[in-house]
C-alpha cells in the first residue's frame, strides 16, 4: 500500500506538520499519544503519514493508528445487526468498534512492548487477517492516533428524538439505532478518548462537504485496488448518512474540547494555523 495522498495532491503545509511535531515533543509522557480528529474525507491518513515521516526524520520512532482499524469484524457486526438493530451492520458509528482491542494496543505501545498493529480492509469491509498486521518490533517513541470522531462526546437524549436525515426517518423510526450508538459513545468511548495526551481537530466548513470528499477518497481507494468494486455513489451517499449525526456533534463540540483547532476550506486547504 502506498503512502496516502491528500486529495489536493499537495498534502498539508510543512509548517503545520512541524507545529504538530513540536506539540508532541512538548508532551511530558514517555510515549505520548497524539490524537488527530478529522471528519471523513478531510485527509486524516495524509496528515498522519506526513507527521510520521517528519517524526522519523527527526530521529523518533512513531506508531500510526487509525480508529478505523479497530472496527468490529463483519461477523461481529452481523451479530449486532441481528440482535440489536440492522443498521449496526454498517461500520463506523459508535458501537461498531472493538474498544478492548484498541485499548490493549495503545497500552502495549505505552509500555514499549512489541505489538501487532491491527488493520481493517475497507474494500472487503472486514478486519484484515492478523497475519497481515504490521509488527512494531522496536518500542514506539510516540503514537499518532487519528479518527473521524476522536474525542466527540455523546448528545443529550432530547437531541435524539427528531431524525436528521432520510436514513434515520426511514430505517430508524423508533430511534433505537441512534440511541444505541449514543449510549455507546457516552458509556464506552471516553476511556479511549482519555488515552490521547493531546487532541487536534481539523475543522471543515460543515458536514455538507463530507459526501464529496468521501467520494473522492472512495475513488482513490478503488484506483489503488483495481478489480475490487467498492461503493457506488448512491451507496456512498447512504453510507455517509450513518455518520452524519456524530459528525455534526463533532463540529458543534470539538472546537471547545480540542487542544488546537485548524480550519480548512471547501478545497481542504488550511485556512490558518
Per residue in 25-65, pLDDT (tens digit) is 999 999 999 999 999 888 888 999 999 999 999 999 999 99
CATH superfamily of 14-266: P-loop containing nucleotide triphosphate hydrolases (3.40.50.300)
C-alpha 117: how far from chain center: 15
Eight-state DSSP code of residue 72: P
Q: Is 239 helix (H, G, I), strand (E, B) or coil?
A: helix
Question: Rounded to two decimals, what is the model's pTM?
Answer: 0.90
Average pLDDT over the chain reads 92
Quickly count helices (H) and strands (E) in the chain.
9, 10
Distances (CA, A) of 268 to 49, 260, 265, 272: 17, 17, 5, 12
Among 1-10, 132-141, 144-153, top mean pLDDT goes to: 144-153
Residue 8's pLDDT is what? Answer: 47
Amino acid at each position: 500500500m502506498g503512502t496516502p495522498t491528500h486529495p489536493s495532491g499537495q498534502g498539508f503545509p510543512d509548517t503545520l506538520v512541524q507545529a504538530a511535531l513540536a506539540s508532541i515533543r512538548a508532551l511530558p509522557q514517555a510515549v505520548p499519544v497524539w490524537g488527530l480528529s478529522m471528519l471523513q474525507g478531510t485527509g486524516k491518513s495524509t496528515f498522519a503519514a506526513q507527521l510520521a515521516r517528519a517524526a522519523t526524520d527527526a530521529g523518533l520512532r512513531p506508531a500510526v493508528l487509525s480508529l478505523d482499524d479497530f472496527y468490529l469484524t463483519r461477523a461481529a457486526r452481523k451479530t449486532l445487526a441481528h440482535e440489536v438493530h440492522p443498521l449496526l451492520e454498517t461500520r463506523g458509528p459508535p458501537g461498531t468498534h472493538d474498544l478492548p482491542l484498541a485499548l490493549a494496543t495503545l497500552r502495549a505501545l505505552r509500555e514499549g512492548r512489541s505489538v501487532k498493529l491491527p488493520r481493517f480492509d475497507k474494500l472487503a469491509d472486514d478486519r484484515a487477517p492478523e497475519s497481515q498486521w504490521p509488527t512494531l518490533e522496536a518500542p514506539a517513541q510516540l503514537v499518532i492516533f487519528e479518527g473521524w470522531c476522536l474525542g466527540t462526546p455523546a448528545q443529550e437524549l432530547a437531541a435524539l428524538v427528531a431524525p436528521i436525515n432520510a436514513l434515520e426517518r426511514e430505517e430508524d423510526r423508533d430511534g433505537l439505532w441512534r440511541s444505541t450508538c449514543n449510549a455507546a459513545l457516552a458509556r464506552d468511548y471516553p476511556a479511549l478518548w482519555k488515552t490521547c495526551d493531546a487532541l487536534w481537530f481539523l475543522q471543515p466548513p460543515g458536514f455538507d462537504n463530507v459526501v464529496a470528499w468521501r467520494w473522492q477518497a472512495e475513488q482513490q481507494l478503488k484506483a489503488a485496488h483495481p478489480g475490487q468494486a467498492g461503493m457506488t455513489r448512491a451507496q456512498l451517499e447512504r453510507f455517509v448518512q450513518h455518520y452524519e449525526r456524530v459528525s455534526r456533534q463533532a463540529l458543534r463540540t470539538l472546537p471547545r474540547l480540542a487542544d488546537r483547532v485548524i480550519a480548512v476550506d471547501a478545497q481542504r486547504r488550511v485556512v490558518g494555523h
